[in-house]
Amino acid sequence: MSEENTKSKVALVTGAGRGIGRSIALNLAQDGMHVICVSKSASSCGGAAEFIKQQGYQAEALQVDVSSGDEIRNACQKILDQHEVVDVLVNNAGITRDNLLFRMEEDDWMSVINTNLNSCFHWIKGLGRPMTRKRWGRIINISSVVGLTGNAGQANYSAAKAGMVGLTKSLAREFAARSVTVNAIAPGFIDTDMTSSLDERIKEVALSTVPLKRFGKVEDIADMTSFLASEKSSYITGQVFTVDGGMVM
């Protein structure tokens, strides 16, 4: 095996403090990577990194508010001083600020676009060059089924998630010659803090649209991420994988 294959890879996961991101971070660490866990609060990413290290894997925490381009640029500088290259980037951090359009404040629009979509632009700009120079890399963007179907009351969130799909496909074409793949995952309803706050009636209606008749688990998304981050997915780029119990066919 070449030295390149035995050296541990570095992964960065945004929104790794809780929910889907935390599960992705744990999976990638179990896959042998050194994982940089990013989240908004220090206690959240710190807790996730600590948990991963307690299991005997490699991780570190980094507090970054991904809605700020300046914070991401500073973080990328710091990370590249220390690690030279981030091999796997998972853009997972996301928020919802749901409302019907006529009741939606501009701030609800902007904060969702900044956190969910603009952050991807800043992270990829900040970390993409060393990846393309190394001629190996994986960028995985966590979108949503509503980025494909739309959803009443989620114009901001759906627009951001659809934007991630366009970004994924364009960058897959830009980076392909450098063996950097860019793919997206579109989860359906996954059991996390984001969905636990929905009222029971909305949850019931949601469940009735899922052929497999259950909400997804965070591991369902983490396992697809592990595959896309691995050598096994090297001939796959520019794709969107729905992991949604069959909601969107």
Question: What is the per-residue binding string for ligand NAP in 52-81, x denoting contact by CB under 6 A?
Answer: ------------xxxx--------------
Q: How far is the CB of 112 from ligand NAP (least distance, A)?
A: 9
C-alpha distance from residue 40 to each of 132, 140, 200, 214, 243 (Å) = 28, 20, 28, 30, 26
Task: Specify the residue, 75 or 136, whose C-beta has the smaller distance to ligand NAP.
Answer: 75
The reply to whether 17 sits near ligand NAP by the rule CB under 6 A is: yes
Q: Where are the beta strands (DSSP E) in 100-189?
A: 137-142, 180-187
Q: Find the part of the chain contacting ligand NAP (CB under 6 A) among 126-134, 184-192, 201-209, 234-242.
A: 184-192
Judge contact between 91 and 15, C-beta under 8 A. Answer: no
CB count within 10 Å of CB 169 equals: 16
Judge contact between 124 and 171, C-beta under 8 A. Answer: yes
For 105, phi then psi, to 5°, come to: -80, 155
Question: What is the per-residue binding string for ligand NAP in 191-230, x denoting contact by CB under 6 A?
Answer: -xxxx-----------------------------------
Catalytic position from the list 157, 175, 189, 241: 157
Judge contact between 164 and 141, C-beta under 8 A. Answer: yes
Touching ligand NAP, residues 94-123 (CB under 6 A): 94-95, 115-116
Active site includes 57?
Answer: no
Binding site for ligand NAP (CB under 6 A): 14-15, 17-21, 39-41, 44, 64-67, 92-95, 115-116, 142, 144, 187, 189-190, 192-195
